[in-house]
Amino acid sequence: MKTSETKPQQRSRATSKTIGERVKAAKTQPTENLELHSQIREAAYYRALERGLAPGHELDDWLTAEKEFNQ
């Protein structure tokens, strides 16, 4: 009887290609998306200022600002 060996999982070419496509798409965003990104960044900064710029809540600031702009 043959025993089957387990091999470590490898990323498939399809996965790598998908990641590459995502990076390319992020670099070529339309101007309106860049403007929205800039507005979200500014709103997140002001949220951080309200907190006294205490570290550890950057993601919360960003997500809250993003949610406000998407509503």
Q: Is 61 within the bounds of a domain?
A: yes
Q: Is residue 40 part of a domain?
A: yes
| 50, part of any domain | yes
Has residue 69 been placed in a domain? yes
In a domain, 23, yes or no: no
Residue 10 lies in a domain: no
How many of the other CB atoms lie within 10 Å of CB of 44? 21
Would the pTM of this model clear 0.75, i.e. be above it? no
More confident residue, 18 or 2: 18
Does residue 57 fall inside a structural domain?
yes
Tell whether the model's pLDDT for residue 7 goes beyond 60. Answer: no
Domains: count for the chain: 1
DSSP symbols for 10-63: ---HHHHHHHHHHHHHHHT--HHHHHHHHHHHHHHHHHHHHTTT-TT-HHHHHH
Per residue in 13-52, pLDDT tens?
Answer: 445 557 667 666 666 666 778 888 899 999 999 999 999 9
